[in-house]
Amino acid sequence: MSHTLTRSFTKKWILILKEYELIKNRQSGRFKTVKELCELFEIHRKDIRRYYERWIEENKKPEALLPRKPGPRAGQLKLLSKDQERTIMKIRRRFETSGPILYEMIKERFNIPPSVSTIYRTFKKYPLNKRRKAAIKGYEKDYPGELVHSDTYNIDPTMVKDRKKYYLVGFIDDCTRLCYVGLVDKANSFETSQVFGQAYKWFMLHGFCLDSLMTDNGSEFCSSSRDKIKQRQHSFETILAVFGVKHKRTRPYRPQTNGKIERFWRILQDECLAKQEKTLTKEELIVEIIKFIYYYNYHRRHGSLEYKAPLDKLQKIADLLPEL
């Protein structure tokens, strides 16, 4: 990286860390406490501490403050032999299993069994050929509301000033890709049920009801075996029954079955959350998410919809219907 880019990336942090050092030594003429410094630059004191330790370890070099490449460090990953990789890929292609299931199948055959992440790296290293990829078919429902996918997503606590863990509950229509998202404090059945009620009303305002809903087997969506034995009512399953929505569950360790909502979370992370330049309050985070959802539903063009927005797809289907 050039000197100019390095300076532009690190200029702000060098200023903050120098003031932080002066505050620690009680020599700062601008700030009395670290809290005042954090409030001015809208950052958390834990972030200052983390960057300060890196800065000191590298003898106060500006390069220590540059963004670090994500992922494991060199030498951290377990390397498999060619025979072990062949064994993994033979099982993968013969049984079309996922990583966790394949791990259970091979852990007795290896002296030191590879982790699930190592197995997935092997999958990526030896991708399926064109014939096998062609056999993997996606699907799309015929009319809005026929199937809606739902899932939860964890918000990184470092994004929020209060450092609390918040969750997103999302609902995306399989046919049109119209999506509704709500922010909750806890990923439990009660909070999820409240967001579902809001989502159901939102979909109705767009002209259709929900026939079925697909989720994973998380406790926020499904009752446990213990609840069934004790005949406890599950909030989310109860509200689905009230609205007459059929509940479908994905097979364990098969997130690709609910792939449309999983893909939406990745888009939200890449195009909205990752682009925030400062830590946000809870209210600011909600505003940013609402703005992105508006853009996603009404303006963003989707390759899977022949480069139309979800609202355009809904309008196209509505134009095909006979006038009532």
pLDDT tens-digit profile of 216-262? 989 899 887 666 655 677 899 999 999 999 999 998 877 788 889 99
Residue 170 domain-assigned (yes or no): yes
| pLDDT-above-90 percentage for the chain | 38
Residue 248 domain-assigned (yes or no): yes
Is the pTM higher than 0.75? The answer reads no
Domain co-membership, 58 together with 87? no
Domain co-membership, 302 together with 163? yes
Residue 164, burial from CB neighbour count under 10 angstroms (0-12, 13-18, 19+): exposed
Residue 77 domain-assigned (yes or no): no
Cβ-Cβ contacts under 8 Å for 212 (sequence gap 6 or more):
146, 147, 148, 245, 246, 247, 248
Among all chains, which residue has been given the structure tokens 């009512």?
A: 233
Q: Give the residue from 259, 262, 59 showing the smallest Cα distance to 152.
A: 262
Provide the residue range defining the domain that includes 155: 148-320
Length of the chain: 324
Domain co-membership, 194 together with 309? yes
Asked if residue 322 lies in contact with residue 312, where contact means CB atoms within 8 angstroms, the answer is: no
pLDDT at residue 3 tops 90: no
Give residue 14's pLDDT.
87
Domain co-membership, 10 together with 156? no
Domain co-membership, 94 together with 25? no
pLDDT at residue 212 tops 50: yes
Residue 143 domain-assigned (yes or no): no
Alpha carbons 218 and 224: distance in angstroms, whole number = 9
pLDDT at residue 131 tops 50: yes
pLDDT at residue 2 tops 80: no
Cβ-Cβ contacts under 8 Å for 313 (sequence gap 6 or more):
175, 176, 177, 305
Query: How high is the mean pLDDT of the chain?
Result: 85
Domain co-membership, 101 together with 243? no
Sheet containing strand 167-173, edge to edge, reads: 179-184, 167-173, 148-154, 212-215, 246-249
Q: Which amino acid is at 191?
A: E
Task: Sort strands 212-215 and 148-154 into parallel, antiparallel or unpaired.
Answer: parallel
Residue 71 domain-assigned (yes or no): no
Residue 76 domain-assigned (yes or no): no
Sign of the CA dihedral with 307 first, then 308, 314, and 319 last = negative
Domain co-membership, 174 together with 294? yes
Residue 72 domain-assigned (yes or no): no
| pLDDT-above-70 percentage for the chain | 89
Domain co-membership, 270 together with 296? yes
Alpha carbons 66 and 92: distance in angstroms, whole number = 40
Angle made by CA atoms 302, 303, 308, in degrees to the nearest 5: 45
Domain co-membership, 87 together with 215? no
Domain co-membership, 243 together with 130? no
pLDDT at residue 106 tops 90: no
Of 36, 65, 94, which residue constitutes the final position of a domain? 65
Q: What is the CATH number of the domain that holds 294?
A: 3.30.420.10
Domain co-membership, 221 together with 296? yes
Residue 223 domain-assigned (yes or no): yes
Give residue 73's pLDDT.
57
Domain co-membership, 168 together with 283? yes
